[in-house]
């Protein structure tokens, strides 16, 4: 494992496929601002015990792993997902393991601002506050690129703006953390998924801008990104049908074989 610094946090570089994400909000290094100047050296840690986290796309994959990790660390978690069946099933399972007072499920379509805000409202009403928001919901399907853009880009923007509203100290909140889930293609785009790569690159630049100390000073909300490589999740099922053209399959296999988290 080789350490690699990216923007305002440090994550381990893996040389093999991963199926559990390194949860960035637990270990952050502030080492550079947008213009490259060093603003702080040293490790920043957040104790998530007793904190409240809202995780989108939490019924499976990386979102589910984040939810479980947060619960393991003592947090309360709002599992938000468009898939009601899987989401409620997971919430029931986790409630049995961690306690009914620590887990709720909210049906959440991140393309629907009103429903997305209802998830924040339900989480706030249940737990009294929100400390962590993980904007994880995403799809990879270049054939349905308009939906892909709406979920991957607009969904993250909606989630971040809602997090600012419900956690910002300038709005009466206590401050908090926003973790936007990008991808290794945020930094190194895949030729096989050009539109998906563009959506994930947008997440990183959006996060860089909102993660600037200027916004942190205004709102008390830290915004950061986590960029994992290929993970063992439903996102990669039947990839051939998700590529813009069937002939991109060979390029996809080459891209994935050389992928590492960023």
Quote the pLDDT of residue 138: 96
Q: What is the average per-residue pLDDT within 56-85?
A: 97
Which residues are designated catalytic?
196
Report the mean per-residue pLDDT for the chain: 83
* pLDDT band of 237, cuts 50, 70, 90: low
Quote the pLDDT of residue 238: 76
Quote the pLDDT of residue 253: 87
Question: What share of the chain has pLDDT > 90, as a percent?
Answer: 67
Q: What is the average per-residue pLDDT within 78-101?
A: 98
Residue of higher predicted confidence among 229 and 108? 108
The winner for highest mean pLDDT among 4-13, 27-36, 54-63, 245-254 is 54-63
Q: What is the average per-residue pLDDT within 7-15?
A: 34
Q: What is the average per-residue pLDDT within 53-73?
A: 96
Encoding tokens for residue 210? 């909102």
**62: pLDDT strictly greater than 60:** yes
Give the strand pairing for 176-181 and 221-226. Answer: parallel
Dist. CA 187–CA 31, nearest whole Å: 18
CATH superfamily ID and name for 46-259: NAD(P)-binding Rossmann-like Domain (3.40.50.720)
Residue-range domain boundaries for the chain? 46-259
Question: What share of the chain has pLDDT > 70, as a percent?
Answer: 78
Quote the pLDDT of residue 120: 99
What b/e string do you get for 132-156 counting C-beta neighbours within 10 Å, with b at 16 or more?
Answer: bbbbbbbbbbbeebeebbbbbbebb
Adjacent-strand bridge partners of 12:
3
**27: pLDDT strictly greater than 60:** no
Q: What is the average per-residue pLDDT within 141-162?
A: 98
**94: pLDDT strictly greater than 60:** yes
Dist. CA 71–CA 50, nearest whole Å: 10
Quote the pLDDT of residue 239: 80
Q: Which residues contact 35 (CB under 8 A, 6 or more apart)?
A: none
């Amino acid at each position: 494992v080789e350490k690699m610094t990216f923007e305002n946090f440090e994550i381990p570089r893996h040389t093999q496929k991963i199926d559990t994400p390194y949860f960035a909000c637990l270990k952050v290094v502030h080492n550079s601002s947008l213009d490259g100047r060093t603003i702080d050296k040293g490790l920043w840690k957040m104790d998530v015990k007793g904190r409240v986290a809202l995780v989108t796309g939490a019924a499976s994959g990386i979102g589910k792993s984040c939810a479980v990790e947060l619960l393991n660390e003592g947090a309360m978690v709002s599992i938000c997902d468009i898939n009601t069946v899987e989401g409620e099933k997971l919430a029931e399972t986790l409630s049995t393991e961690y306690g009914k007072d620590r887990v709720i499920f909210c049906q959440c379509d991140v393309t629907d601002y009103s429903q997305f805000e209802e998830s924040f409202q339900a989480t706030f009403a249940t737990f009294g506050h929100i400390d962590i928001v993980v904007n994880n919901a995403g799809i990879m399907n270049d054939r349905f690129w308009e939906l892909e853009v709406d979920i991957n880009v607009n969904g993250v923007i909606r989630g971040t703006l809602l997090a600012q509203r419900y956690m910002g100290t300038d709005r009466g909140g206590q401050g908090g953390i926003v973790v936007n889930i990008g991808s290794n293609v945020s930094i190194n785009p895949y030729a096989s998924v050009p539109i998906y790569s563009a959506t994930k690159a947008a997440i990183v630049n959006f996060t860089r801008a909102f993660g600037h100390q200027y916004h942190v000073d205004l709102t008390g909300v830290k915004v950061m990104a986590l960029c994992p490589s290929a993970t063992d999740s439903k996102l990669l099922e039947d990839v051939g049908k998700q590529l813009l053209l069937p002939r991109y399959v060979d390029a996809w296999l080459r891209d994935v074989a050389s992928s590492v988290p960023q």
